[in-house]
Amino acid sequence: MEFNGIESDLFTLSILINCFSQLGEISLSFSVFANILKKGFQPNVITLTTLIKGLCLNGQIDKALNFHDEVVAHGFQLNGVSYGTLINGLCKVGQTRAALQFLRQVDGKLVQPDVVMYNTVIDRLCKDKLVNRAFHLYSEMIAKKIYPDVVTYNTLINGFCNMGQSKAAIDLFNKMISENINHDIYTFNILVDAFCKQGKVKEAKNVLVVMMKKGVKPNVVTYNSLMDGYCLVKKVNIAKDIFNTMAPMGVAPNVQSYNIMINGFCIVERLKEAIDLLNKMMRKGVKPNVVTYNSLMDGYCLVKKVNIAKDIFNTMAPMGVAPNVQSYNIMINGFCIVERLKEAIDLLNKMMRKGVKPNVFTYTSLMVGYCLVNDVNKAKDIFNTMAQMGVAPDVHSYNIMINGFCKIKMVDEAMSLFNEMCCRKIIPNTVTYTSLIDGLCKSRRISHALELVDEMHDRGQAPNIITYTVLIDGLCEVGRLEDAVKVFEDLLVKGYNLNVYTYTVMIKGFCNKGFSDEALAMLSIMADNGCIPNAITYETIISSLFGKGENEKAKKLAHEMIARGVRLKTKQSEKKYGVLKWQYETIKADTSSSEPKIYWALKSREPTESINLNKETFGVKRFTLLLHIQLCHSEINAYFPHKIHVYVAVMIARTNCDGIIDEPQVQCAA
């Protein structure tokens, strides 16, 4: 302009200042400002505010405040927009207290505060989770006759919802109605989303009804929140119905809509539907993002189909989607769960080569993997690597290592880590203490375990039912049954919700001492308190009763177990007895041949398949298979030689046992 002889005016130069400020060229903005002064123009409030805004936009809030002081000292007048800009700048850089002080400073002295200034500070307080202070500021507004608007209420409602104070949020929502302040779509979406995140889908649906009655049409955010809520409570079919209503209601699903549904299907292991929806979204022209692929990989890893997850991971880059740290973490964790640790380490190295920095979850996944294969020393190496890589271990990292050492009875190493975390000001949680107490109990260092329980109380870290269950078991194992009973009875008095494991360890304690009547009484207390015994509970008492020769009681209890539909867990039984303890099922017994056979229906076998009762079947040198059935021996003979259907009362395979406990039986000597 000036090159062509056209003189620039204040308005033109102010526009130029704004352009440079928006581009972050603050030095050029002030060069133009110097030109304004050189030309003799009197800067107006717009020019000065533009410069203040430019400094604030670039995070130079201190310079903006100094510039404000210089401007005021030279007699220039600023307005509410100028001060609102400074307050907003302070809030943007997290200087909430300074913003509040500045609001007090200008109040009635420089300008009259307006609703925008108050809204800015209220918003920052809510983001800082100081929602009660934000509410006090809202009350101050009303007292000064500065009337809140829809932004004020939306900000506070969102703040209360984020803090889980849904009642306060609803009260403000109702206050809006009484003050005739129109709710907007954002108001309703805040409430719908908050209720859904809390799993209160019924309340969320009620908000939707009110919303539609007021003529506010749901948008994609509303539908996404509802679908997410239903998926959270695993009501995926309802979420699917909501998804299918979006298009007929004129709302096009976006990538987040598809992601929510894909994740929902993955959570409930409906992986085929997740893949079908992935294909559908691509046909619709909605491009999957990293969240889409992460959800699918996580879904397949959860069901241990890691190879499929790996294939999905490998398709990301060709599809133009760069894996993020979560993508790598999902795959590393998946490999660790199925004990493919070499592949997990290879992927760790790959992610670092790609410039993706591992985080605490990456390393803890690897530590868990090595602990699963009892290579705790390798897990400790990974733990030490974290600090070297600038990743600070958290309480979960320490818990993994402490639990790993305790599992292999290296309790002193676990205690050393416990002391280390305390020195680093990492506060131990209930999991930390419970792991240590369990390790100490299993090492028969019960006195030290009790000291840790006292320490938990002293630190205000209340033991949970798992902690007490571990302690009761430890007391029983060292023969301190009376102390175990005292702890157990104290839990009942204090109203703890005892679970099946707590009752079972107490029953085991009685059985180990040969107190079968007390064990049966405890079983009765379980029933009275609405706690259903599991297979281990029954197995413990039945084994004890047979050991004492109380066969009729054992058979009666076995009948009760069958009536409840309780089944034995094969792997646990293998560990305990060294041979297979069959599940309780309706079976077919055939005694017509010289070599007895039992026919049964197990998931892993066809119902017609049979197993010969010989030592090779079980892989043990000596055994007796004891088969007690509801039908008496004479009834079997009446059906002989035909196949008959009978119910197993108890079928126990034991090693090194030659005795015949009861009639009838099928016995095969070694």
- 10-43: pLDDT as tens digits: 777 778 888 887 888 888 877 877 877 777 778 8
72: CB partners within 8 A, 6+ apart:
78, 110
Banded pLDDT at 591 (limits 50, 70, 90): very low
Q: Which residues of 382-419 are buried (b: 16+ CB within 10 A; e: fewer)?
A: bbeebeeeebebeeebbbbbbbbbbbeebbebbbebbe
Q: What DSSP line would sit under 31-73, residue for residue? A: HHHHHHHHTT----HHHHHHHHHHHHHTT-HHHHHHHHHHHHH
Average pLDDT, the chain: 81
Strand-strand pairing, 610-612 and 644-655: unpaired
pLDDT value of position 181? 86
Fill in the DSSP letter of residue 656: S
Task: Using alpha carbons, list the distances in angstroms from residue 189 to 152, 208, 247.
Answer: 15, 9, 19
At residue 569, the pLDDT reads: 53
Question: Under CATH, which number does the domain 464-566 receive?
Answer: 1.25.40.10
Q: How far apart are CA 1 and CA 15, in angstroms?
A: 14
The helix or strand, by DSSP H or E, that contains position 119, with its residue range, turns out to be helix 115-127
pLDDT one-digit tens code per residue, 391-436: 999 999 999 999 999 999 899 999 999 999 989 999 999 999 999 9
Rounded mean pLDDT, 56-79: 82
Among the ranges given (107-111, 280-284, 385-389), the one the predictor scored with the smallest mean pLDDT: 107-111
Dump pLDDT digits (tens) for 219-269. 999 999 999 999 999 999 999 999 999 999 999 999 999 999 999 999 999
H helices within 389-464, ranges in order?
A: 395-407, 411-423, 430-442, 446-458
Lowest mean pLDDT: which of 75-84, 183-192, 262-271, 536-545? 75-84
Round to whole Å and give the CA distance between 542 and 547: 8
Question: Which position has the token pair 């929902």?
Answer: 264
Which residue ranges does the chain devote to CATH 1.25.40.10? Answer: 183-288, 464-566
| pLDDT in the model for residue 223 | 96
Determine which helix (DSSP H) or strand (DSSP E) holds 590, and give its type and residue range: strand 586-590
Residue with more model confidence, 256 or 90? 256
Instruction: Name the CATH code of domain 183-288 (choices 1.25.40.10, 3.40.50.2000, 3.40.50.1950, 2.60.40.10).
Output: 1.25.40.10
Average pLDDT of the segment spanning 324-330: 97
